Chains A and B, each alone.
Chain A
Amino acid sequence: MPDIVLYAAEVTLNGLMAGVLYALVALGFVLIFKASGIFNYAQGVLALFAALTLVGIQKGQVPFAHLINAMTGKHYTNFPWEVPALVAILLTVGVMVVLAIIIEKVVLKHLVNQAPIILFMATIGMAYFLEGFGDVMWGSDIKTLDVGLPQGINETIDSVTYNMFGYGFFIDNLDIVAAIVAVLLVAALTVFSQYSKQGRALRAVADDHQAALSVGISLRFIWILVWSIAGFVALVAGIMWGSKSGVQFSLSLIALKALPVLMLGGFTSIPGAIVGGLIIGVGEKLFELLIGAPFLGGATENWFAYVLALVFLVFRPQGLFGEKIIERV
């Protein structure tokens, strides 16, 4: 088999794995957008905050240590304990739920029936606040996140492909785990939304607020629920990205990668977020290998997703799976 085909196959696999992570972030956007029509600018920062909190809890960091030390003249940094990964993850989920409640009580509650642009602005404010708050709470240094996920080359795939093609594929174990987790997460979300009382209520709110109220659904409860789920999805994305490249400010920028994914997949479609993520993950890696590196001087991964999204915007503005945009008369 010619080398380029093998490279392309390996790159496609890796692209799929990266795409899964884009999809995870995009999923958080879609959930909130569907239920409340809010484009949540803070989704990326939510992932950063979740990852910071997880590391902080796991390592037994004293929250607000800088602040406390500055005020008391002490030198607290850590509690004399470390928390097992699973417990830390559960505690972080709790923190994300509390955060969702605070967001609803402090921000969303006061902005009911406001124009989408106002809500969007509010989420920008939220993003900056949360970014600073995360810094103050957990410190701004780069942290390593290790919850015990397997990392490094998958030997089995390497040796199997070597025996078959005389060329071993490099697939990272962490990417495989991320893909499995993403599939489980989407399956769980689908089951939840189709079959549970709360899921039914959530779909109802996403469809029509007035009608939802009339059948006894509390919008505020649903918003807390949605932001909690979005916070949970952000945590999952934060764990995957954080394990890969450390927890630092740049983690919040993965949200920027989710934007083209949404344009491709549509803002209202969960399958769209997945497929969009995969297309962009594979597309940008293949493009770099086949066209970018040989002809364009490389580094096309930085912009490929946006160009692809722009092309889509022109020909199919509602995205692959989005609802058709029809003006109501």
Chain B
Amino acid sequence: MNDMSDGYVTADGRQIGGVIMEMKNITLRFGGVVAIKDISFDIREGEIRAIIGPNGAGKSSMLNVISGFYIPTEGEVWFHGYKRGPMRPYQVARLGIARTFQNIALFDGMSVLDNIMTGRLTHMKSGLLAQAGWWWTGAAKEEDEHREKVEKIIDFLEIQNIRKTPVGRLPYGLKKRVELARALAAEPKLLLLDEPMAGMNVEEKEDMSRFILDVNDEFGTTIVLIEHDMGVVMDLSDRVVVMDYGKKIGDGTPDEVRNNQDVIDAYLGVAHD
């Protein structure tokens, strides 16, 4: 791919659009620790963009910058052609950017269904007064519409049989899936996944890979994916950013980064699970 200004066509024939998010010279410090050092890269509409790198490379930090959980010490975040001011996570979420967490952040006390329903919050309109007049003002109808969307996602991710289960009781793999469901419920433009298959067995990983591809394919959702499993990354992603010690050491298609000497060096002798 040479000129990418208007997007490109992937090997499997998907049309990738223009840049929707651009990170410009991002630096993030925690006291003396420099988690991200002057990194720039872009994310294009419709692509699956992976961020890889050894432990502690700064991948999660980067995702946290995108989602507003961390404010970068230096640098700019551009979204849809506009420079984004320092935003709080809830404001970023309302822009249509949803995420999952490396360590899973679910509402343990709620059922699977209720957890996924919270994903609809950014789309819920009815104010307090409208809700007081539940039936008269159409708040009930709105609730039904949200329920319908959530049920579709539940079917899509094949978790019908655990809809009413309190999330705290679920095994790890299913929790990851519910977290994805909640993020999808927001109908995001941009979906950020921090190690969605960490700690899963082969079968669960295959399921999750299929879901990620299907989300991208069916809803056209742009996805940023952090993952340690190289096989998964090479299979799923269109372009890959490689980080090491807070620096960007590679950026390109899976084939390009696989043959990049810096990347090979960074991974030599580094054990991964």
A78 at the interface (CB under 8 A from B): no
Q: Contact partner of B94 among A195, A210, A212, A216, CB < 8 A? A: A216
B237 at the interface (CB under 8 A from A): no
The answer on a CB contact under 8 Å between A208 and B106 is yes
Q: Contacts A195-B134, A218-B90 given: A211-B107 contact, CB under 8 Å?
A: yes
The answer on a CB contact under 8 Å between A197 and B124 is yes
A329 at the interface (CB under 8 A from B): no
Q: Contacts A203-B110, A216-B90, A218-B90 given: A210-B105 contact, CB under 8 Å?
A: yes
A219 surroundings in chain B (CB, below 8 A): 90
A124 at the interface (CB under 8 A from B): no
The answer on a CB contact under 8 Å between A196 and B131 is yes
Nearest residue (CB) in A for B185 is A215
The tally of residues in A whose CB lies under 8 Å from a CB in B reads: 22
Query: How far in angstroms is the closest Cβ of chain A from B253?
Result: 30
B88 at the interface (CB under 8 A from A): yes
B118 surroundings in chain A (CB, below 8 A): 200-201, 204, 211-212, 215
* B79-115 with Cβ < 8 A to chain A: 88-90, 93-94, 98-99, 101, 105-110, 114
The contact string, 1 if C-beta is below 8 Å from chain A, for chain B 113-139, is 010011101101010100100100000
Q: Contact partner of A213 among B69, B107, B134, B143, CB < 8 A? A: B69
A289 at the interface (CB under 8 A from B): no
The answer on a CB contact under 8 Å between A214 and B110 is no
Q: Contacts A195-B131, A197-B126, A210-B101 given: A217-B106 contact, CB under 8 Å?
A: no
The answer on a CB contact under 8 Å between A208 and B108 is yes
The contact string, 1 if C-beta is below 8 Å from chain A, for chain B 33-52, is 00000000000000000000
Beyond known contacts A197-B121, A214-B98: 11 more, CB 8 A cutoff: A195-B131, A195-B134, A196-B128, A197-B126, A200-B121, A203-B107, A211-B107, A211-B118, A212-B107, A214-B105, A215-B186
Residues of A that sit less than 8 Å from B by CB? 195-198, 200-201, 203-204, 206-208, 210-219, 323
What are 25 sample pairs from A and B whose C-beta atoms fall under 8 A apart? A195-B131, A195-B134, A195-B143, A197-B126, A201-B118, A204-B107, A206-B109, A207-B108, A207-B110, A210-B69, A211-B106, A212-B118, A213-B69, A214-B99, A214-B101, A215-B98, A215-B121, A215-B186, A216-B90, A216-B93, A216-B186, A217-B90, A217-B121, A218-B90, A219-B90
